[in-house]
Amino acid sequence: MTNEKSVAQAEMPPIPVTLEMLNNWATEATGAVALHMKQRLVPIEGEGGVIFPATYADIGYNIDTLSDGTRVVTIDSVGSQANRMEPIFRTAETDRQRWLVPQIMIKFDDRPCGSCDDCKTAKKCKTPFVELRSLLELAHRSADAVVQSSPSLSKHISQAFEDLRRTGDAGNLCKWAPSSLVFGVWDSRGGTGEKRPRLIRSTIRAWDVEPLHAAAQFTSVWKSLDEATKKDLKEEEAKKNKKALSDVGLADAPAVFRKNDKIPKYRDGVPNSDARVLGGVLVRGRIEREVTVNLVALRGIRGANEPRTDEVRKYLLGLALVAATAEMNLFLREGCHLRFAEENDVWLEVPRRGEPKKVALGTPEARQLVETYASTAAEPFRSQWPKEADQLVHTFDVKKAKELLAKKDNDATEQV
């Protein structure tokens, strides 16, 4: 009977998303605990293609072998997915009413252009290169070392974290860095140690994969050089602290093994596959992106009072759903260009008990409703966002960065 009920529910059309439903997700304590979606992806070359997963120091690809022998590889980690989604809130719009989050930038030291007449005559450059980085692009968000090294910004962020620690009030952080509450943040190197979980969690994995290897051969001009020149170059290479000829492109260089002294290149006289240059993976199974919006964590966030708490939760839900339903760019890295396999995504509303229900959150109409909802929910905070240019652009101070190096902390190394 249970199986028949599950099959019947699976065949039912998704429930249309309404404004009331969105509000309930944000504020109803006994409501759904999560929203979940599995998104099938395929390489642009088609099913069964070779793709290049993310690589990690020492291990190469992150491949797990299950008890039945199936190999599963991480294509994009949770942290990487968060760093891809967060910048969607960056905009060049000058109309603040169209912003969903404050557009805060960090400026690094002006650098001489090096080509103008003033630079050539050792005068002060009148057209220096100015490097700006959006707060939305920082890996550790508002807890990033760059923020702590920008005095005019760090004082506000530090106070926002202090409010979270003392009273649980997230309203102040919503004024400066609301996406930190959406994608998770840990003030591990700040003064509070305040840690907030991700409201949205996403990862991409490929199932039933076969690792492949690559090999290449760089052919230099070495054979074209005369013997005297070759001898001269070899003698120079042999001197102390000199680079190898192959490193600078003056000698042939094979690319067969990875540069990793911890892994032996040969075992029993046979090339060790663990040491070979990685050549992607052949995907025999499925490629899936899973996205979860944690409604329990959302409802654990508070404001200064009950009305403000509702405003905070609705605002953060709006941001989380905008990010979760956005048409993500799936050109993840060289050799890993994917696309969406289905016309519309199937989302599930996961209740505290009972069977999940399909909701039409993946349609263009639902995405439009979500964007409108997020924009409306941002209104109570928009008027409190930094208004003047000097409040939106903050300068990185290398002296403050040096002070971070001198700090004695709790040896916290993990980041959200």
Mean pLDDT highest for which of 181-185, 391-395, 400-404, 410-414?
A: 181-185
The residue among 377 and 269 whose pLDDT is bigger is: 377
| Residue 236: pLDDT over 50 | yes
Residues 95, 382: contact at Cβ < 8 Å? no
What's the confidence (pLDDT) of residue 219?
Answer: 86
pTM: predicted TM-score of the whole model, two decimal places: 0.86
Check residue 5 and give its pLDDT: 56
100-153 confidence digits (pLDDT tens): 999 999 998 777 777 787 777 777 887 777 889 999 999 999 999 999 999 999
* DSSP codes of every residue in 136-179: GG-TTGGGSHHHHT-HHHHHHHHHHHHHHHHH-B-HHHHHH-HH
- Looking at residue 354, its pLDDT comes to 94
When the pLDDT of each residue in the chain is averaged and rounded to a whole number, the result is 89
Mean pLDDT, residues 306-319: 97
Q: What pLDDT was estimated at residue 407?
A: 66
Report the pLDDT averaged over residues 167-191: 93
Both tokens of 104, joined, read 């805060």
CA-CA distance, 203 to 83, in Å (whole number)? 12
Q: Which residue has the higher pLDDT, 169 or 406?
A: 169
